[in-house]
Amino acid sequence: MFESLSDRLGSVFDRLRGRGALNETEVRAAMREVRIALLEADVALPVVREFTDKVTEQAVGQQVLKSVTPGQQVVKIVHDALVEMLGADASELNIEVTPPAVIMMVGLQGSGKTTTTAKLAKRLTEKDRKKVMMASLDVNRPAAQEQLAILGRQADVATLPVVQGQQPVDIARRALQSAKLQGFDILLLDTAGRLHVDQGLMDEMKAVAEVADPEEILLVVDALTGQDAVNVAKSFSEQVAVTGVVLTRLDGDARGGAALSMRAITGKPIKFAGMGEGIDALEGFHPDRVAGRILG
Ligand code: GDP
């Protein structure tokens, strides 16, 4: 991921790094290249503007230009600004509550929501040693509930038995009761996907949230859709109290625009990154590591 941005920035900064002296004109020229690199990575224009204005202002300061290693200082300023843009505070899940902690998964159809639900369930089971149950509330797509059950068997995670004909709010109620009775720490609710941001399904999601009172509402979006992913996140956030974003298919995203714009545009932290189709391919999203990866 981020290959092209990383290459572009790498060549800009290689030129600066070794220099014992830099003047303002050179720094401004480098910052113009940073701006172009971010735009080519499909980062939203207002985000690019804010980023380059801030970085340029700091980088042309006398303390930087007069220092012994001005090039390195400029790179450090860019690094710190990238971390901030990605959402400096690495965000943990809010799951240390009286069990069961409820995590509701929402998103468009095909975003990778069901796969991510199973990946997250496995991660919470193995890494965090939690007792996890999953339940599918998707009664719109035939076989959606069965898909989650199959993933549950693969991941060795319990799923709520399917009762044909039951509606989402009732399934949520039953899941909650069952999780309480059976002593599960975490209940993951996989809600129905939607083709686009559609009012009927938004209302269903709100009704489920009211019954389930989730600790986390995680929005799953596909990184490959670039700025659309950010726009989708913005629309969802306006309707329900999204607490974090899971960005899927980051493994195939050479540009990284969605990841870089998400926090600034939606105000929501990216909490996890999908890095492949496998059930283990889910990573925590750590802004400092990502910035480090981008700057090489
Ligand atoms: P849903 O309709 O949102 O529930 O989507 P699914 O969970 O059924 O996923 C759709 C497809 O995307 C499946 O083939 C998944 O294996 C694939 N997928 C999901 N997450 C990732 C990811 O992070 N990387 C890659 N490469 N594929 C993914």
Q: What is the pLDDT of residues 179-198, one digit of tens each?
A: 999 999 999 999 998 888 78
Q: Which residues line ligand 1 (CB under 6 A)?
A: 107, 109-115, 193, 248-249, 251-252, 274-277, 281
Which protein residue has the closest C-alpha to ligand 1 atom 20? 112
Which protein residue has the closest C-alpha to ligand 1 atom 9? 112
Q: How far is CA 89 from CA 47, 83, 147, 263, 282, in A?
A: 18, 9, 34, 11, 19
Nearest-CA neighbor of 37 among 66, 13, 20? 13
Q: How far is CA 161 from CA 39, 134, 136, 173, 192, in A?
A: 48, 10, 9, 13, 17
Which atom from ligand 1 is nearest to the alpha carbon of 276?
A: 24
Residue 249 is assigned to a ligand binding site: yes
Residue 61 is assigned to a ligand binding site: no
Rounded to whole angstroms, the Cα distance separating 131 from 206 reads 26
Which protein residue has the closest C-alpha to ligand 1 atom 13? 112
**140: amino acid identity, one letter:** N
Which protein residue has the closest C-alpha to ligand 1 atom 5? 112
Which protein residue has the closest C-alpha to ligand 1 atom 27? 277
- What is the value of pTM for the model shown? 0.94
Alpha helices, DSSP H, located in 156-283: 168-181, 199-212, 227-239, 257-266
Residue 190 is assigned to a ligand binding site: yes
Q: How many residues does the chain have?
A: 296
Ligand 1 centre and the CA of 101: distance in Å? 25
pLDDT, position 152: 97
pLDDT, position 21: 86
Q: Which of 148, 196, 277, 280 to mutate to test the pocket of ligand 1 (most atoms within 8 A of CB)?
A: 277
Query: Could you count the other beta carbons within 10 Å of the beta carbon of residue 250?
Result: 25
Rounded to whole angstroms, the Cα distance separating 150 from 238 reads 33
Q: Which of 1, 111, 115, 136 to mutate to test the pocket of ligand 1 (most atoms within 8 A of CB)?
A: 115
Residue 10 is assigned to a ligand binding site: no
Counts of helices then strands in the chain (DSSP H, E): 12, 8
Ligand 1 centre and the CA of 276: distance in Å? 8
- Using only C-alpha atoms, the chain has a radius of gyration, in whole angstroms, of 22
Do strands 216-222 and 158-159 pair parallel, antiparallel, or not at all (unpaired)?
A: unpaired
Tokens representing 176?
Answer: 């909650």
Mean residue pLDDT of the chain comes to 93
pLDDT at residue 162 tops 90: yes
Residue 160 is assigned to a ligand binding site: no
pLDDT, position 268: 94
Reduce the DSSP state of residue 211 to 3 states and report it: helix
- Residue whose token pair is 């809010």: 94
Straight-line distance from the first to the last Cα atom of the chain, in angstroms, rounded to the nearest whole number: 12
Q: Give me the DSSP letters along 47-65.
A: HHHHHHHHHHHHHTSHHHH
Which atom from ligand 1 is nearest to the alpha carbon of 274?
A: 23
* Angle formed at CA 131 by CA 123 and CA 182, multiple of 5 degrees: 155
Residue 156 is assigned to a ligand binding site: no
CB-neighbour burial class of residue 257 (10 A; exposed 0-12, middle 13-18, buried 19+): buried
Using one digit for the tens of pLDDT, what is the confidence trace for 227-253? 999 999 999 999 999 999 999 999 999
Taking phi over 0 as left and psi of -120 to 50 as alpha, with beta for the rest, 255 belongs to alpha
Mean pLDDT computed over 64-85: 91
pLDDT at residue 201 tops 90: no
Using one digit for the tens of pLDDT, what is the confidence trace for 275-290? 999 999 999 999 999 9
Residue 191 is assigned to a ligand binding site: yes
Which protein residue has the closest C-alpha to ligand 1 atom 11? 112
Nearest-CA neighbor of 58 among 33, 32, 28? 28
Ligand 1 centre and the CA of 111: distance in Å? 6
Which protein residue has the closest C-alpha to ligand 1 atom 16? 277
pLDDT at residue 17 tops 90: no
Residue 251 is assigned to a ligand binding site: yes
Q: Give me the DSSP letters along 83-140.
A: HHHH-SSPPPP---SSSPEEEEEEEBTTSSHHHHHHHHHHHHHHTS---EEEEE---S
